[in-house]
Structure 1
Amino acid sequence: MPIDHRLSEEYEALRATVAEFARDVIAPKIGGFYEQEEFPYEIVREMGRMGLFGLPFPEEYGGMGGDYFALCIALEELARVDSSVAITLEAGVSLGAMPVFRFGTEEQKREWLPRLCSGEMLGAFGLTEPDCGSDAGGTRTTARLDEAAGQWVINGTKSFITNSGTDITGLVTVTAVTGRTDDGRPLISSIMVPSGTPGFTVSKKYSKVGWNASDTRELSFTDCRVPAANLLGEMGRGYAQFLRILDEGRIAIAALATGLAQGCVDESLEYARSREAFGRPIGANQAIQFKLADMEMRAHTSRLTWRDAASRLVHGEPFKKEAAVAKLYSSEIAVTNAREATQIHGGYGFMNEYPVARMWRDAKILEIGEGTSEVQRMLIARELGLTG
């Protein structure tokens, strides 16, 4: 029996719905938000009403009863039009809500997930630090348990944290050193910190090259106290937990990158058909045709990588290598397609009024966030059995 790579009716209906929303609601408005570096609250609220933030979560927690594959379908279609909105959803789900779902107690899930799934509240994940990027095991933020008060006392700084300072941010989960092993290695735990907790300071927005309509901040904790019950998962298992979260998140980033790459094809194809030079559309020139053919080939292949990884995830199969392959390939071809799209548009590609200029600015971070390209190559090599 032949293998069918087509989407099921349910997945295709979701894809079409999100595509229409992206085209009709996001596309006409997002340029203004992007240039003003404003967070698009109304768009995010509409995404919440559509159930996008609850896609992979069970209905008992306020979710839509879908899966991670469904989330990635939505991310690709959003990023096909705009990456700021797509990363807001990706971070809100895979980094904000998913740790609570994967590792939280039943009480924690029922307290936080309904609001996170509805989009009423955004969650964030505080991992990266100013002196600790790819070396997440070098975490310097500390959390000391004050047993008498029944509280964690957190001190440290987190950087480049998405969704951490919006008006609807309600929760940041941070990794912190909570002890040491007998041989001196740090024991890292994950602790939930509600927004507004005394001692928790959110800095002003970063001035970024891209993703300008998304929220990214530095966070600092100075004797910040939260209840001992805010420990997420097992004490000392925070490092292992975040590795699992990042493995999943890499598939989501791959889907987002695929959307950006396909969006570059969409915009360039339309431009090549309408822009005339030397008496005919530039799309009649073989040089432009070959560029577009290569761009479509890369986007199509990228889609296959994330769908393979996501399928393995939802079927409970090993997916670490496939997630790294998808993230590495998709992010790098997104950068390539954005560069080629800008070239096809010529001088107009350097003007912010054209979506490809925004895509060009948004693409580079995909090779850095949630594991750099170098880290992905390291992970793939390890999965192939290579060490050292």
Structure 2
Amino acid sequence: MRRTVFNEDHEAFRTTLREFIASEVVPHFGDWAREGRVPREFYARLGELGIFGIQVPEEYGGAGESSFKFNAILTEECARAGVSFGGSSVHTALCLPYLLAYGTEEQKKRWLPEFVSGRMMTAIAMTEPGTGSDLAGMRTTATLSADGGHYVLNGTKTFITGGAQADRVLVCCRTAPPTPEDRRAGITILAVDARSEGYAVGRKLEKLGLRASDTAELSFTDVRVPVEDRLGEEGLAFGYLTHNLPQERLGIAVSAYAQSAAAVRFAHEYVRERTVFGKEVASFQNTKFVLADCKADVDAMQAVVDRALDAHDAGELTAADAASAKLFTTELAARVIDRCLQLHGGYGYMLEYPIAGLYADTRVTRIYGGTSEVMRSIIAKSMGL
């Protein structure tokens, strides 16, 4: 079926992006995955191309687009080629919405031009060892100085995507203890300069998938953060974090769909080339039925994602809608990609084949952005259960 969710501008962007990925990413991606990060100069290249500025207002050096659909095309094209842009998805899809929504005019003028150019890469630090999805249980603290000029930040964060190369990190911390009535109260976001004394990048974590994306532990020991670098109001950050969750979960749903579509494409190409017992693997009825089932599943995922993209651009995507899209696509993607890997036989287990990378990469989509169990709870609550 013809997709109607994208217009001519979107498709022109897709064409340019596909050419860029083929010429400047695919030839190097294997090296990046082995090194556990993309080179820093690649982020500067993305800045030159305007990738980081699509949703940044023109007065700060961006293109001023409000649609999330350009982000979706970026996700689709990376998955199609079996590559990624490292931790830059956090830079644009997670950090930027907070800077735009809660940054002061002074902060936007100070940060966004460098954000757009790639000279200042950002990450967001929410998760702590032992807390997982329980953000209200965070123990990292920031104490306001006696003169009110700066905060003193102490604590540890983990699973920070892009954390090893970030220049400024949005650190979620406690500026006041929780109350018996509200565990979520007292959380604040500080935009911490990675060059600050007492700021340290710890272990670079070895992951099952997403291997070209650096993920690190961060620690803060008496880090002085100027009060001018607080993002939004003190103590209100939990509400800020939940406000951006529908878009974050939509992005994950798009990724799950795109990875599934890519898996079907890779499997289709492989079974047409591979012979077993003197016959093309594609000629066996089982192969045809498996790929037919997978194609139908991908079509269903595409319909859910496209509807959610339209709803998001119209400002109508609810938390329950986003949770439903994420739950459906990520759970189904796991089955689709597993079946496509099976069609590759032993070669599907080899990292030189892109299906192996997709298999490893997609597993985390049922965990980050809220686990599938959390998604079910959100959906059930929206049903009055």
User: Identical aligned pairs, as a percentage?
Assistant: 37
Note the C-alpha offset of 1:182. Answer: 5.8
- Provide the rounded CA distance (Å) in 2 between the counterparts of 1:10 and 1:104: 29
Q: Which residue of 2 aligns with 1:79?
A: 79
Hey, what's the Cα distance between the residues in 2 that align with 1:201 and 1:4?
46
CA separation of 1:82 and 1:88: change in aligned 2, threshold 3 A: farther
Give the whole-Å Cα distance in 1 for the aligned partners of 2:251 and 2:320. Answer: 14
Whether 2:345 is the aligned partner of 1:385: answer no
Alignment partner of 1:253 is 2:274: no
Residue 222 of structure 1 pairs with residue 239 of structure 2: no
Partner of 1:49: 48
Q: Is the 8 A contact 2:250 2:325 kept in 1?
A: yes
Cα deviation for residue 287 of structure 1 reads 0.9
Q: Which residue of 2 aligns with 1:179?
A: 176
Q: Tell me if the contact between 1:63 and 1:118 (Cα under 8 Å) persists in the aligned partners.
A: no
On the 8 A contact 2:172/2:187 being kept in 1, the answer is yes
1:275-286 aligned at under 5 Å gives the runs 275-286=274-285
Worse overlay, 292-301 or 274-283: 292-301
Structure 2 length as normaliser, TM-score? 0.93
What corresponds to 1:8 in structure 2? Answer: 7
Unaligned runs of 5+ in 1: none
Q: 1:1-388, aligned counterparts within 5 Å?
A: 5-66=4-65, 67-82=67-82, 84-85=84-85, 88-148=87-147, 150-166=149-165, 169-180=166-177, 183=180, 185=183, 186-386=185-385
Aligned length: 381
Q: Which amino acid aligns with 1:337?
A: V
Q: Judging changes above 3 Å, is the alpha-carbon distance between structure 1 residues 76 and 137 closer, same or farther for their aligned structure 2 residues?
A: same
Gaps in structure 2 of 5+ consecutive residues: none
CA distance in 2, matches of 1:32, 1:156: 33
Note the C-alpha offset of 1:210: 0.9
Moved more, 321-330 or 372-381: 321-330
**3-state secondary structure, aligned to 1:322:** helix
Paired letter, 1:298: D
Closer/same/farther in 2, CA of residues 300 and 21 from structure 1, 3 Å limit:
farther
More deviation in 315-324 or 344-353?
A: 315-324
Deviation at 1:83, TM superposition (A): 5.3
The answer (yes or no) to whether the contact 2:26–2:83 under 8 Å persists in 1 is: no
For the aligned residues, what is the CA RMSD?
A: 2.0
Q: CA deviation at 1:333?
A: 2.4
Quick one: which amino acid aligns to residue 77 of structure 1? E
Kept in 1, the 8 Å contact 2:5–2:310? The answer is no
Tell whether the 8 Å contact from 1:84 to 1:212 is kept in structure 2 after alignment: no
Shift of 1:151: 0.6
**Contact (CA 8 Å) 2:78, 2:84: kept in 1 or not?**
no
Amino acid paired to 2:169: V
For residue 296 of structure 1, give the secondary structure of its aligned residue in structure 2. Answer: helix
Bigger Cα displacement from structure 2, 149-158 vs 214-223: 149-158
CA positional deviation for 1:8? 0.9
TM-score normalised to the size of structure 1? 0.92
Q: Distance in 2 between matches of 1:108 and 1:201?
A: 24
The AA in structure 2 aligned to 1:371 is: G
Deviations 1:290-347 (Å, cap 9, x if unpaired)? 2112222222222222222222222122422221122112222222222112111101
Letter in 1 for 2:363: K
Alpha-carbon offset, residue 365 of structure 1: 0.8
Q: Tell me the secondary structure at the aligned position of residue 115 of structure 2.
A: helix
* 1:217 partner SS: strand
Please state how far the C-alpha of 1:366 moved relative to its aligned partner: 1.0
Counterpart secondary structure, 2:127? coil
**SS of the residue 1:204 aligns to:** strand
Give the direction of change, closer, same or farther, for the CA distance of 1:91–1:42 in structure 2 (3 Å limit).
Answer: same
